[in-house]
Amino acid sequence: MSPSIERRTTLDAVSKAIVEQLQEDGRRSYAEIGKVVGLSETATRQRVQKLQDAGILQIVAVTDPMQLGFARQAMIGVRVSGDTRVVAAEMAELPGVIYVVSTAGSFDLLVEVVCESDDDLIDLLNDRIRALPDVVSTETFVYLKLHRQLYNWGTR
């Protein structure tokens, strides 16, 4: 298996402005965004669709899981003995896993999870994550309170 080549998409100024408008308010109408960026409502809608189709943009509702009945949220540092890409793909398929990233440092992967209870977190750790053949060790960082969560860092 050869390493994947990362492709960075270069956005023009209009697409960047659209992304920034949606980062401020994902419910903003295409007509409102179009006025700001200098496009018609239809052209704005088409641009947003192209950004979504390219995987550059998702429009979602961001919530605080703890306020929605998920009593336990945690970040799990995972050390792997084999190919981290394989383990990352396996982790990404597990229920409760919402974020997987390969890292350089003391952990090979960081895995964010949302669980309904401590028992669910224990089950996920013992029955699913630690049961994967190439997982050597884990360290769990339980979230006590969400203080800040932003997604409006803009574009480059």
Instruction: Judge whether 146 and 64 are in contact, CB under 8 Å.
Output: yes
Span 44-83, pLDDT tens digits: 999 999 999 998 899 888 887 878 888 899 999 999 998 9
Comparison of pLDDT for 84 and 67, the residue scoring more: 84
Q: CA-CA distance, 43 to 2, in Å (whole number)?
A: 39
Instruction: Indicate the pLDDT class of residue 6, thresholds 50, 70 and 90.
Output: low
Percent with pLDDT over 90 in the chain: 72
Please report which helix (H) or strand (E) contains residue 11, including its range.
none
pTM of the model: 0.76
| Paired residues of 75 in beta bridges | 112, 141
